[in-house]
Amino acid sequence: MPLSLVVLISGRGSNLKAILDAIEAGDLPAVVCAVISTDAGARGLEYARRRHIDTLALDAADYPERNDYDRALQGLIERFNPDLVVLAGFMRILTPGFVRHFQGRILNIHPSLLPAFRGLRTHQRALEAGVREHGASVHFVTEELDGGPVIAQVRVPVLADDDPASLAARVLREEHRLYPQTLRWLAEGRIRWNGQQVLFDDKPLNHPQQLEAQLEGQ
């Protein structure tokens, strides 16, 4: 059975597109049941509409209390009973109750090599810190912001002439490979989380799986 996904977005949806492209290419045994956005005008919703996937939008302005928003979001997700909830550029911090409800079934992609640079402005902060490597991480979501177990990462070099935009573009290209690959491992049953430890091929995953970057010119 293909892995059933509900994808949450807030903007352009480029990681959503990468997931949908991987499914259509036969590289990811999954089906996207629905795409839910914080913004009815999010460009990423169009990728789903073209493929006749259910799209929904939930505006935070209609829910002054975070708990009310997350309860409404939980209700929308549960209509589709997905195997996984996939955060793909979803620009909200989820409440502990929401995260606990979907514990072990909710993933996020973060543009840094976690645990480095949790939170926002990761590319600017990486440059300010003078690191030589940057990248992206896919992790299980827990109540701790960007603090859940990291499943897989991809690394890219930081170049001498980089600015935040050029570094972000290099990382994003690799995100589009990292997320579908990680989801494929999950679909194949190779990754499991028992609530205490992540297992890869039934062995403890003591370090994140590393995806080799495919940089321009290679």
- DSSP per-residue codes, the chain: -PEEEEEEESS--HHHHHHHHHHHTTSS-EEEEEEEES-TT-THHHHHHHTT-EEEE--GGG-SSHHHHHHHHHHHHHTT--SEEEESS--SPPPHHHHHHTTTSEEEEESSSTTTT-SS-HHHHHHHHT-SEEEEEEEE--SSTT-SPEEEEEEEEPPTT--HHHHHHHHHHHHHHHHHHHHHHHHTT-EEE-SS-EEETTEE--S-EEEPP--TT-
Over the stretch 138-197, which tens digit does the pLDDT of each residue have?
A: 999 999 999 999 999 999 999 999 999 999 999 999 999 999 999 999 999 999 998 889
Q: With bands split at pLDDT 50, 70 and 90, how would you rate the model's confidence at 89?
A: very high
The mean pLDDT value for 41-54 works out to 95
CATH node for 3-211: 3.40.50.170
The mean pLDDT value for 8-22 works out to 97
Which carries the bigger pLDDT value, residue 1 or residue 139? 139
The mean pLDDT value for 5-24 works out to 97
Q: Which residues are catalytic?
A: 110
